[in-house]
Amino acid sequence: MSTLAARGVGVTFGHAVVFDDVDVELARGETVGLRGPSGCGKSTLARVLALLHGPDRGHVSIDGSPIEGARYAVPVATRTRIALLFQSPRAAADPRLSLLDLIAEPLLATGTDRTTGRARARALADDVGLTEDLLERRPHAVSDGQLQRACLARALVHNPDYLLLDEATAMLDASTQALVAQVLIAYQRQHQAGVLLVSHDLALLDRWADRTIDWNELIS
Ligand SMILES: Nc1ncnc2c1ncn2[C@@H]1O[C@H](COP(=O)(O)OP(=O)(O)OP(=O)(O)O)[C@@H](O)[C@H]1O
């Protein structure tokens, strides 16, 4: 079975051990919830799984193959199989780029030409309900909900097998939250993607996750 897994992972910042010896597994096609108290390490674990932060102990594996290193040390074909959507689109978006270029950016960064990248970005923008008039605006000129839709489109631009959502709908109004969920569920069905939902929202986890992991289970 295709899986994204953390095996015995641990992260230390300075002298502070955030967590140690954590095992977690996400199979393609399933939706797993992750909940736990503020500050326990959920976002850090999501970043480790997204290959954005190398663990100090243990390793991440895809389909059973351990991944060496993190970020640009990981081959493009591997790291683009995982996408992470953050809670705050403002922190995640380059303020200098138009929404269209923001969505296209991961493609351009991995060698796709600008015309092809922007065409793909335009199609995804349409999928997430961003109208044409918004696409040449920069982040300061759109709402948080519109910017998060652009970040969602960007997260899908490489057709990832695994999507990690770190409180990604927490600051959205109910209608934008519903739209994001609808787009993700459609994407998941089409691509058999594995989805990890990091959330404090028990109603959302009940509704959406096939199973929910409590942080205490991971560290016991
Ligand atoms: N870059 C960093 N340097 C030092 N400490 C950090 C860093 N990033 C996170 N931490 C610390 O690691 C711990 C876990 O943080 P993390 O953001 O993973 O928690 P969380 O469970 O996602 O919290 P929340 O639910 O509040 O978002 C916290 O104590 C935090 O202060």
Cβ–Cβ < 8 Å for 102, 94: yes
CA angle 56, 160, 75 (to 5 degrees): 50
**Residue 211, pLDDT score:** 96
pLDDT tens string 199-214: 999 998 999 999 999 9
**Residue 45, pLDDT score:** 97
38 Cβ inside 6 Å of ligand 1 = yes
Residue from 92, 86, 48 nearest 167 by CA? 86
Across residues 181-196, what is the average pLDDT?
94
CA of 40 relative to ligand 1 center, distance in Å: 7
Integer Cα distance of 42 and 166 in angstroms: 8
Confidence of residue 175 (pLDDT cuts 50, 70, 90): confident
CA of 39 relative to ligand 1 center, distance in Å: 5
Quote the percentage of the chain above a pLDDT of 90.
Answer: 86
CA of 208 relative to ligand 1 center, distance in Å: 25
pLDDT tens string 25-80: 999 999 999 999 999 999 999 999 999 999 999 999 999 999 999 999 999 999 99
Integer Cα distance of 43 and 155 in angstroms: 17
Element (H, E) at 215: helix 215-219
**Residue 100, pLDDT score:** 97
Integer Cα distance of 32 and 76 in angstroms: 25
13 Cβ inside 6 Å of ligand 1 = yes
Quote the percentage of the chain above a pLDDT of 70.
Answer: 100
Average pLDDT, the chain: 94
Residue identifier of the C-alpha nearest atom 6 of ligand 1: 13
Residue of 17, 34, 42, 85 to test ligand 1 pocket, by largest number of atoms within 8 Å of CB: 42
For the CA of 215, the nearest atom of ligand 1: 21
**Residue 184, pLDDT score:** 92
Residue with tokens 């923008």: 125
Residue of 43, 198, 219 to test ligand 1 pocket, by largest number of atoms within 8 Å of CB: 43
Cβ–Cβ < 8 Å for 155, 85: yes
| Region of residue 51 (phi > 0: left; psi between -120 and 50: alpha; otherwise: beta) | left
Q: Encoding tokens for residue 133?
A: 């008039």
Is the per-residue pLDDT at 118 higher than 80? yes
Is the per-residue pLDDT at 171 higher than 90? no
What is the ipTM, given to two decimal places?
Answer: 0.96
Is the per-residue pLDDT at 220 higher than 80? no
